[in-house]
Structure 1
Amino acid sequence: MADETGGTPRRARARRSDSVRNRERLLAAARELFATEGLQAPLDRIATTAGVGPGTLYRHFPTRVALWEAVLEEPLRAQLALVERALANPDRWAGVAGYLMETCGHEAERGGYLNLMTTRYDGAPRLLEIRTAIQRRITELIRRARTEGAIRPDFTTEDLLFITLSNSAVAEVTREVAPNAWRRNVELFLDSLRPERAHPLSEPPMEPGQVARTMMRPAPRRSN
């Protein structure tokens, strides 16, 4: 029961305010460390960066997946908007080239999220739904560009994935010395997609199932 000065309600409001601040600090720390260290960044480091204890983190986000759900929906929706803009471009070559340059640019930034499209989101149906929508639209983007002769006829969605992944590695090793070197790398890739530059390839593309087995990061342990 509150005293005449309303002390108990004030304490309750203060606790709620502290809880909100702690949650925001945890989300900010998670965004920072997921961007710089990857989606498997240690949870105790996220708590330390946020200036709270592990218990506070687990009260707000009992599992890593719960933290992913709070942090990753926004960047996944940004990726979905990016590919939808590419699909809406009537110039099929410009759509593919623009999408590839923008998505590689995002991952080249320190604020990008590596492995956003290649991590298993078991237990996070909303994230899975958004990523599935992204994958379907990318497949449609490549299909239309091939059908209309804007890109080489043997280029596949799986090839696109490996271009973005390889460019992430280029961006990582050149960032401190030549931060825009990734652009030249993407432009060289783009030239290789033009139909007039196409030459027979010695190996067939990987199957979607092979790519999934190769690239998908494991789901986090339940203790995380």
Structure 2
Amino acid sequence: MTESRLRYSRYPCRVDEKTGTRAEGGRAPRAERRDSIRNRERIISAAEALFTGEGLDAPIDKIVTAAGVSPGTLYRHFPSRVQLWEAVLDQPLHAALDLVERALANPDRWAGIAEFVMATCALEAERGGYLNLMTTRFDGSPRLVELRGQIQRRIEELFDRAREEGAVRPDFTVEDLIFITLSNSRVAEVTRTVAPGAWRRNAELFLDSIRPERAHPLTQPPMRPSQVARAMMRPPAGRIRSAAAEKSTK
């Protein structure tokens, strides 16, 4: 057996010239690629879970520990936090866009609204993270900002059409929907281990309340979008902890 190198590889290994098999002690490029793909998937999976539970400012060291990789491995795949956000959030944001597009395509406007509301409530109740997607500032990622903006514009279009066609009560706004989703997520949280499906009843009661034939005058006007933004919009990811630390030193 003589020393050789696999063609097109920068990884030295020992190859039996008679059989062409690789001896122990070397790693084929294909194995390296498999390891790289597996590590990337583990990082994304760990980051998704932590982003859902702690927000997009979840500490990198926690992601590294949960993924079972070294910090160097994480930074080789994702040199910046923004790149990690994009890898984790691209699919959920496109899934959220698909939900509203399906609702808009439904010729039965009320059925489309009901399907959309139940689907978004299910996302938040069963997996969490939907409200984070809709309220976190994606500073540094124009792509995520634009994608989320597209979702919000299509949701507004969905409910504008529903009001125009008399499918929902005329005073219902998208801002109302945000807080209904928020309250339903709390119902799901406190009932998860006792009655996992209780959130569905809450969401169905909400849907019943926005039918036009159920409408009664409300005592409070709807919140303005700017008020909702101040109430709900999370700080830019990465600044939450620094703000808390600054406060603790005062």
Please say whether Structure 1 and Structure 2 have the same fold, judged by a TM-score greater than 0.5: yes
| Contact 2:100 2:155 survives alignment (8 Å) | yes
Structure 1 equivalent of residue 89 of structure 2: 72
2:234 partner SS: coil
Report the alpha carbon displacement of residue 200 of structure 1 after superposing the two structures with TM.
1.1
- Relative distance call for 1:133 and 1:122 in structure 2 (3 A) is same
Query: What is the Cα deviation at residue 102 of structure 1?
Result: 0.7
Q: Where does residue 28 of structure 1 map in the other structure?
A: 45
Q: Which amino acid aligns with 1:56?
A: T
Counterpart of 1:8 in structure 2: which amino acid? P
Greater shift in the superposed pair: 192-201 or 4-13: 4-13
Cα distance in structure 1, aligned partners of 2:227 and 2:180: 16
Cα distance in 2 for partners of 1:65, 1:5 equals 38
CA separation of 1:19/1:123 partners in 2, compared to 1, >3 Å: closer, same or farther?
same
Give the equivalent residue in structure 2 for 1:91: 108
Q: Are the counterparts in 1 of residues 106 and 112 from structure 2 also a CA contact under 8 Å? A: yes
Counterpart for residue 159 of structure 1: 176
What is the CA–CA distance in structure 2 between the aligned matches of 1:5 and 1:90, rounded to whole Å?
63
2:213 to 186, 190, 196: 196
Structure 1 stretch 106-115 or stretch 88-97: which is displaced more? Answer: 106-115
Partner SS state of residue 4, structure 1: strand
Task: Give the match for residue 12 of structure 2.
Answer: 8
Aligned length: 222
Q: Determine what percentage of the aligned residue pairs are the same residue.
A: 70
1:134 equivalent in structure 2: 151
Aligned-residue CA RMSD (Å): 2.3
1:54 counterpart = 2:77: no
Stretch of structure 1 that moved more, 3-12 or 116-125: 3-12
TM-score (norm 1): 0.90
- Aligned partners of 2:5, 2:151: CA distance in 1, in Å? 55
Letter of the 2:235 counterpart: P
Which whole-Å CA distance do the structure 1 matches of 2:191 and 2:81 have between them? 30
Distance 1:46 1:26 in 2: 7
Return closer, same or farther for 1:112/1:211 CA change in 2, 3 Å cut-off: closer
Q: Deviations over 1:135-192 (max 9, x none)?
A: 0110011111111111110000111111111111111111111100000000111111
Aligned pair in 2 of structure 1 residues 37, 110: CA closer, same or farther (>3 Å)?
Answer: farther
**Within 2, Cα distance between the matches of 1:60 and 1:29?**
14
> With CA pairs under 8 Å and 6+ residues apart, which has the higher RCO, 1 or 2?
1
Gaps in structure 2 of 5+ consecutive residues = 14-25, 243-250
5+ residue gaps, structure 1, are: none
Asked whether the 8 Å contact 1:156–1:205 carries over to 2, the reply is yes
Shifted more, 107-116 versus 173-182: the winner is 107-116
In the TM superposition, residue 132 of structure 1 has moved relative to its aligned partner by 0.8
Q: Measure, in 2, the Cα distance between the counterparts of 1:110 and 1:148.
A: 33
Note the C-alpha offset of 1:214.
Answer: 1.4
